[in-house]
Amino acid sequence: MNNTQELLRSHSSVRKYTGEEIPREKVVELIETAQMAASSHFVQAYSVIWVTDEEKKQKLGELSKNEFQFRTAGASFLFCVDFKRLQVAGQKHDTDIVADSAENVLVGVADVALFAQNFVIAAEAEGYGICYIGGARTSPAEISELFNLPDYVFPLFAMTIGTPTKRNETKPRLPVAAVLHENSYDVEKYDTLLDEYDEIMENYYASRSSNQKMATWTKQMADYLIEQKRPHIKEFLAAKGFTWK
């Protein structure tokens, strides 16, 4: 493996940092690197809020149910799907853009995810740790108000980055055979592969250096997906201008 592959394979989430602030020039450099990610039709349908105000940072932590992380992070961000800038671009040519479609929601989500992952890789290459915070979707209306997000803009996730106090073990991923299909989708292999993966994860959870527990991946997924999560999201997106036409 080359150094890039080794870096990618070493990722683990970090939730406690030293509190050392990340310099402004470094944040700008990371954002510039993130912007080089692929973008569907080059729409670049993303914006990121850098949260430097301490009161807003604390409130974001409360609203996303992750107060602890924000206290020690070197920098905190809110990553957003953004079609407002595209609306302004259309207006320059007397064009009303069509943003409120399911396709554009998917385009925006993909753009933000690619942009953010470039940001993460660049940050980790500098020795920083990061953690994605999907809890930002728990109170999206309140978070939108907190950061003055206009129509056609909505928060997808928050992120903390900083110098880690410790490095967690890398969590084993699904075996390649479980996610790689050749020429056609094969559901028959899952029974065996998932049993094998459950054994791997059970050993991992029991032996890791902190937060040890008895758990398997399939049981965690069954418990997580037994009910609809965040049912308010569809109504919230409609209020922001995305009606899923």
Percentage of residues of the chain with pLDDT beyond 70: 100
Domain boundaries, the chain: 3-169+227-239, 176-221
- Predicted pLDDT at 244: 81
Is-contact 14 162, C-beta < 8 A? yes
* Residue of 160, 161, 149 whose CA lies nearest to 80: 149
d(CA 142, CA 65): 13
**DSSP code, position 174:** P
Which residue type occupies 145? E
| All residues at 6 or more sequence positions from 18 whose CB lies less than 8 Å from its CB, including other chains | 72, 74, 162, 163, 164, 165
Q: What pLDDT is stored for residue 168 in this prediction? A: 82
Please report, as a single letter, which amino acid is at residue 217: W
CA distance 117 to 120: 5
- What's the CA gap between 8 and 164, in Å, rounded? 17
Residue 231 has pLDDT above 90, yes or no: yes
Q: How far apart are the C-alpha atoms of 41 and 43, rounded to whole Å? A: 5
Model confidence band, residue 214 (pLDDT cutoffs 50, 70, 90):
confident
3-169+227-239 is a CATH 3.40.109.10 domain:
yes
15-42 confidence digits (pLDDT tens):
899 999 999 999 999 999 999 999 999 9
Please provide the DSSP assignment of 12-67 as one string: -----B--PPPPHHHHHHHHHHHTTS--GGG---EEEEE---HHHHHHHHHHTT-H
Nearest residue to 139 via CA among 157, 113, 125: 157
User: According to the model, what pLDDT value does residue 212 have?
Assistant: 78
What residues have CB less than 8 Å from 4, skipping those under 6 apart? none
